[in-house]
Structure formats: structure tokens, C-alpha cells
Amino acid sequence: MTLPQIALFALFVGLAMGVGLSLVVAWAYRTRARIDSETSLVVPEGVTAVLGSMDDAACVVDTSGFVLAASKPAARFGIEVGAPLENPELRQLVRSVRADGAPATESLRLTRGGLSLDPRLVSARASAISPRMSLLVIRDVTEQERLDQMRRDFVANTSHELKTPVGAVTLLAEAIESASDDPAQVRHFASRISAEAARLGQLTGRIMSLSRLQADDALSDARPVSVDEVLASAIEAHVVQADSGGVEIARGGDRGVWVRGDSQILIEAFGNLIANAIAYSPRGSRVGVGVKADGEVVEIAVSDQGIGIAEADRERIFERFYRADEARSRRTGGTGLGLSIVKHATQRHGGEVLLWSRPGRGSTFTIRLPMIDAPTGLDQGKKSKKKRERKAAKAAARVRNGENE
């Protein structure tokens, strides 16, 4: 090839590359201009305003799948203006709407931010707003699904738990009828019926307590509450259980601490912790109840020297009807609702409950509550104060005396 021919060939290649580059640039400008034109001219102002005020993820896409407008929450699912709609299931939903002309809704599992973690259940609805555009609304229903599943589990678990004592009462009633001529057997079966009736009453009572705690976010009867009085009542209510189990209850820590809340709810919550600590403690051990005022927070800890809780069970220990030791819980008459009541009661009082546990070494449940100043004029009734102190001391003495007998 001669030099002129080489020069001509190089000129041709350069022209071809220049034309090709010009075409690519022109295509890019036309694509961007088309998107800008459709966004500013075609998307109705009302739709854009609605998108800007929506809490759900929503967007407007064109026939090629480009996002023309979007709400702020849409970014959680990787949907951005000027970019294509990446999710194939959402693209297929939009295409089906364009083909049929009728709105369509589907339940999908989507990942947020393009990550494979934390898949969300969404209800996606697509509808056509013009021949060239479709509106896509994505509502995250993951939490609703979780709550619905909790309700279903609660109903199923409650039905299962109620069947046991009800069935036992039925069988024992039949046994009494068959043994009507044997007074000893009648007394034995009657005492069993009483025990099952008490278990049934405890279960229904705790179900009602848990339902009340979950019904509202605010306390209906919040007032200043003395932690000393609450703990004294909770301890006194479990003196007999401690005596029977050979367990000592020791109360220590700060005194004169006050919180705002419902005293009956708090008594039940602390009572549940104390009852669990006694039930899972070996004979001759001690259950400690300690109070610590720390700044604006008061910590009430209930510790035992029992069997402890395995690490695999700690995540679920506050779930309704969950039992770390199913067999032991049945023997001790546990309902599986006590710790769930503790959790919800604490949350209703603006606090939190923490757990420390080691298998074979015991467990410590700590309730942290906002602390308040003692009510004004409290010193007026010194007699009432002394009476409360005597009551608390009497409860502690009864525990000690019962242990030493």
C-alpha cells in the first residue's frame, strides 16, 4: 500500500470514528432530553406533588422502564429518577398494566438498597396514568405481616394452653363420678381439679393482663409510685413460694426511690421476676432484689443462683408462651407469659429490661425505669412512712424465719 493510500485510509477511519462518536453523543443527548422533556412536560404537576408528600415508595415510569419521578422513600428500594427500574418483578408488573390497561397489585419480596439482606414484604400496585406512563406504588407491609403472624401465633398458643387444664378438669370430673363410692379417691381427684382450676385461672388472668398492656401505649393511671412499697408487696406475695422452695429472698440497695407509673402493673412485673427466680433456684440458695439509683434512672435487679439460661434461648425468652425449659416449666406451673408481661409492663413505663445469664451460675433481670423526685409533703406523715418500713421489714423477716425453720 502506497503512502497516499495509507493516508487516505487513515483519513477514512478518522472520519468514521468521528461520525460514530457524534452519533453516540447525539443519542445520549436525545435520551436525556427525552427524559427531561417527559419529566417536566408530561408528568402532571398534581402527580409530582402527591409523590413528594407520600410516605410510601412510589414512582412514575415511562414505556422503556425509566423512572421519571419518585417519592423520597422510593430510594430505600434503589429507585432513582433518571435511572431504569431495576427490579424485574416490578418491571413485569408495569408491563402487564400497559398491556391490559387495568391496575394490578402483587405481593413481592424486595431487598432494600440493592442489598440481599433484610428482604421486605411489599404490596406493589401499578396503574396507567397516560399512554406513555405508569404509576407504581410500593407499600412495605413487613411489620403488618409480623403483627398478623403474632396474633395468629397468640391465638393458636392460647388455644393449645387452655386445652390442657380444661381437658384435665373434664377427665377428673369423670373420675370423681366413677369413684363416687370411694371418699379417698374423690378427695384426691377434687384436689387435682382445684389445682387445674387454679392453673386455668392463672393462665386466663395473665392473658388478660398481657392484652391490657398491649392495648394502649399510654398508662391510664400513672402517678408517683414508691419502689420500696412495690417491691415489698411483690416480695410478700411470694413468701409462701420461697418457703416451700427453701429459697431466701434478700432485699438490698438504695431506698426512697420513686418512679411514675401504675403500682399494680409494676407489682405484677416484679412479682413475675421474683416468682421465676424462686422457681428456677435450688433449695438453700438466695434470690437477690437490689435497687440502684443512677442519675435519672433507677435499676431494679432480680438475681438468682439457678440453672441459668442458654445463649440460644436468650433472644426468645421474652416471647409469649416461650419456655426455655419446657418440662421444668410444666412442673412449676409456668404459663410462659410472665416474662412477656415484664417486658410490656416495662416498656409501658418508658423503661427497658436487660438480661444477664450463665448456665449453671444463675440469671439477673434488670428493669431500668425513669426516676422522679419524691412527692412534695411526703414528710408530713412520718407515721405512714414508719408503717411502710415496718411492713417491708416484717415481710423480710417472714422470709428469713421461713427459711430457718
H-run or E-run covering 128: strand 120-130
Which CATH number goes with the domain that contains 196?
1.10.287.130
Domain co-membership, 114 together with 151: no
pLDDT, tens only, 158-175: 666 677 677 778 888 888
For residues 243 and 402, which has the higher predicted lDDT (pLDDT)? 243
pLDDT, tens only, 210-221: 666 666 555 667
Assign residue 130 a region: left if phi > 0, alpha if psi is -120 to 50, beta otherwise? beta
User: What value does the mean pLDDT take over residues 109-124?
Assistant: 70
Closest CA to 154 of 328, 331, 340, 327: 340
pLDDT at position 23: 57
Domain co-membership, 367 together with 235: yes
Q: Is 91 a member of any domain? A: yes
Domain co-membership, 82 together with 101: yes
Domain boundary among 193, 215, 237: 215
Domain boundary among 140, 171, 206: 140
pLDDT, tens only, 18-52: 555 555 445 555 555 454 544 444 677 788 888 88
Q: Is 7 a member of any domain? A: no
Q: Is 165 a member of any domain? A: yes
Instruction: With a cut of 50, say whether residue 146 has pLDDT above it.
Output: yes
pLDDT at position 370: 93
pLDDT, tens only, 349-372: 889 999 999 888 899 999 999 999
Instruction: With a cut of 50, say whether residue 197 has pLDDT above it.
Output: yes
Provide the domain count of the chain.
3
Q: Give me the DSSP letters along 52-68.
A: HT-SSEEEEEETTSBEE
Closest CA to 395 of 223, 267, 260, 209: 267
Domain co-membership, 204 together with 306: no
Instruction: With a cut of 90, say whether residue 344 has pLDDT above it.
Output: no
Burial class (CB within 10 angstroms; exposed 0-12, middle 13-18, buried 19+) of 209: buried
Domain co-membership, 359 together with 321: yes
Q: Is 23 a member of any domain? A: no
Q: Output helix, strand, coil percentages for the chain, rounded to the nearest 5.
A: 55, 20, 25
Q: Is 392 a member of any domain? A: yes
130: Cα separation from own chain's centroid = 43
Domain boundary among 140, 170, 189: 140
Helix boundaries (H) for 123-245: 142-178, 183-215, 227-236, 239-245
d(CA 383, CA 387): 6
pLDDT at position 403: 41
Domain co-membership, 205 together with 305: no
Domain co-membership, 112 together with 239: no
Which CATH number goes with the domain that contains 398?
3.30.565.10
d(CA 183, CA 273): 40
Task: Give the range among 80-94, 217-231, 340-354 with minimum mean pLDDT.
Answer: 217-231
Domain co-membership, 275 together with 353: yes
Q: Is 28 a member of any domain? A: no
Q: Is 15 a member of any domain? A: no
User: What value does the mean pLDDT take over residues 106-132?
Assistant: 78
pLDDT, tens only, 265-279: 899 899 989 998 998
Res. 405 pLDDT band, cuts 50 70 90: very low
Instruction: With a cut of 50, say whether residue 327 has pLDDT above it.
Output: no
Q: Which residue has the cell 416474662?
A: 339
- Per-residue burial over 264-295, b if 16 or more Cβ lie within 10 Å, else e, is ebbbbbbbbbbbbbbbbbeeebbbbbbbebee
For residues 167 and 305, which has the higher predicted lDDT (pLDDT)? 305
Domain co-membership, 259 together with 277: yes
Domain co-membership, 319 together with 353: yes
56: Cα separation from own chain's centroid = 22
Domain co-membership, 237 together with 349: yes
Counting Cα atoms < 13 Å in the Cβ hemisphere of 20 gives 6
Counting Cα atoms < 13 Å in the Cβ hemisphere of 35 gives 18
pLDDT at position 378: 56
pLDDT at position 39: 45
Range of the domain at 233: 221-404
For residues 367 and 382, which has the higher predicted lDDT (pLDDT)? 367
pLDDT, tens only, 70-82: 999 998 888 889 8
pLDDT at position 399: 47
Q: Is 370 a member of any domain? A: yes
Q: Which residue has the cell 468521528?
A: 18
User: What value does the mean pLDDT take over residues 202-209?
Assistant: 68
H-run or E-run covering 140: strand 133-140
Which CATH number goes with the domain that contains 74?
3.30.450.20
Domain co-membership, 336 together with 382: yes
d(CA 225, CA 35): 64
Instruction: With a cut of 60, say whether residue 3 has pLDDT above it.
Output: no
